Structure 1
């Protein structure tokens, strides 16, 4: 089974100006760049590969503010922006950002669609790379909860894929949620500055086909749930 993996960071609607969204996005892309060679160039997402390749952008605060203030800002929705790294089909990574919504029906998020095949997939789908990428999202966006796991695992443990309610290969919990209890080996726990805690279930690739992985994730889920750390995040746009 060729599982598809994604990374996401989510937070309840945080009303903030477009300038703040641009600053946070600049930090995210800057911290992401050293993690993986294919995270060093970005294009605005378009209807086709050919169209997207016409719109490269430099992910600094100035250029992002220009994009966010014009093409990608909607009333109440805030900033809604998608980027793509220009790699061939299967080897590409996409990023979707939503920031600064004033609607109670929308939350904010940063989601990465990760490679599904090729050398990029082998490099990216490792515990160190996903940990660093989720760390970048945590430092940039200060989310309530973050995840890096396969969609097959997400769908297995969460009927409606509700952010904040389950544990994946790599999970991030804001310190605002509370204190992470001691967790069983081989789970790795790492503090992310003063923001929160990163939890890595296992050093090898986590898959739904491995019963040991699933059992360990369930054990960690139960412990975090008993500690009151897994809480639904409002609807995501």
Structure 2
């Protein structure tokens, strides 16, 4: 029997430049995001603190969001050299998941409060690689909804929902803010999004920015049309000055 090709793996990520924030600020934004995700799908309504095993993680729920618990989690996630003091300008990192079985789970990794300028702040959600959950989550309406939730909670400069394989084909050196995915968000701070050719769709995000949907069907790196359309739209946006890396070279 011939081997089946591996399925593409998808993610949603929001990125923004230097922004000094406290653990309390990060906790408040995270709580807002978790409530928005819970409204998108039941799989995104359960989150747990990291633990030694998936079974143990179920003992430490993060829903409903508790600001004190989230604040302490970010405070513990301060960046530091081993045994040294906290590196305040690098902000805080907090990673957690929904406790699902391997391959069917969803993880969130958040870095916020970094104001050093070397790396972007980010909120990245990995999606299930297979099963019914993947079929339900990896759709245009669902990813657009998740992206909107991230935009409202984190006010990023740029956000994207796409596959890692498609990302690799968009540019030789894909950097946060510098390419177009299946669904892309651009902050209004970047300027006005120009008219784009059909079937690309442009949708406003209340008082934040714009969502760009590259294709209504599932995007895949195996579809040459999807790849070429992504490159063409990326060129048009770059020419308009709204598609630039979040952290300049």
Asked if TM exceeds 0.5, the reply is: yes
TM-score of the two chains, using structure 2 as the length reference: 0.89
Q: Which residue of 2 aligns with 1:103?
A: 116
The change in CA–CA distance for 1:26 and 1:219 in structure 2 (over 3 A counts) is same
| Cα separation, 1, equivalents of 2:219 and 2:67 | 35
Conserved 8 A contact 2:50-2:97: yes
Deviations 1:43-74 (Å, cap 9, x if unpaired)?
Answer: 123453234333322323333123223x2233
Q: Which residue of 2 aligns with 1:23?
A: 28
Alignment of 1:37-186 (within 5 A): 37-58=42-63, 59-69=65-75, 71-74=76-79, 75=86, 76=88, 77-186=90-199
Q: Which residue of 2 aligns with 1:7?
A: 12
The change in CA–CA distance for 1:87 and 1:186 in structure 2 (over 3 A counts) is same
| Cα separation, 2, equivalents of 1:16 and 1:22 | 10
How many residue pairs were aligned? 234
Q: Where in structure 1 are there 5+ consecutive unaligned residues? A: none
Runs of 4+ in 1 over 6 A off after TM superposition: none
Q: Which residue of 1 aligns with 2:229?
A: 216
Q: Which residue of 1 aligns with 2:83?
A: none
Larger radius of gyration: 2
Deviations 1:135-179 (Å, cap 9, x if unpaired)?
Answer: 000000000000000000111123333101100000000000010
Q: Which residue of 1 aligns with 2:41?
A: 36
Q: Where in structure 2 are there 5+ consecutive unaligned residues? A: 80-85
TM-score of the two chains, using structure 1 as the length reference: 0.93
Give the CA RMSD over aligned residues. 1.5
